[in-house]
């Protein structure tokens, strides 16, 4: 019998989250994280700025979430100086040391003496 992992108190009328299943019951697994080129991101921002399509429509056309598109627009405003925050280059420089730390193996502990 496949039981679902308890995910806290249910919201009124809510079903269990889809990602708590292991896929054994025909549930889809979460989509793998995708990465996009700077050119693609710039194109998404430009389409939204033109105004002939809504953010929701652009997101739907490119199989993105509205939140991802809004975040990209917000980041573009930071990059151009219209909004405060870390630019894309600054974000990248901060994330590189973190990635390097994740790749290094943990230090070895000396064997216990008996």
Is the per-residue pLDDT at 21 higher than 80? Answer: no
Assign 46 a pLDDT band (cuts: 50, 70, 90).
Answer: very high
Q: What is the predicted pLDDT for the residue at 102?
A: 65
**What confidence score (pLDDT) does residue 25 get?**
58
pLDDT, averaged across the chain: 78
pLDDT value at 30 more than 70: yes
Segments making up each domain of the chain, as ranges: 35-101
Is pTM beyond 0.75? Reply is no
Higher per-residue confidence, 95 vs 11: 95
DSSP annotation string for the chain:
--PPPP-SSPPTTPPPPGGGS-STTSPPPPPPP----HHHHHHHHHHHHH-SS-HHHHHHHTT--HHHHHHHHHHHHHHTTSS-S--HHHHHHHHHHHHHHHHSPPPPPPPPP-
35-101 CATH: 1.10.10
């Amino acid at each position: 019998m496949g039981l679902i992992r308890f995910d806290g108190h249910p919201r009124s009328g809510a079903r269990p989250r889809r990602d708590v299943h292991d896929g054994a019951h025909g549930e889809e697994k979460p989509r793998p994280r995708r990465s996009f080129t700077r050119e693609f991101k710039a194109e998404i921002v430009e389409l939204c700025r033109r105004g002939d399509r809504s953010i929701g429509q652009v997101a739907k056309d490119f199989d993105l979430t509205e939140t991802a598109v809004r975040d990209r627009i917000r980041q573009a405003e930071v990059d151009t100086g219209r909004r405060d925050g870390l630019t894309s280059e600054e974000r990248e420089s901060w994330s590189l040391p973190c990635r390097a730390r994740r790749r290094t193996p943990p230090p070895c502990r000396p064997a216990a003496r008996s």
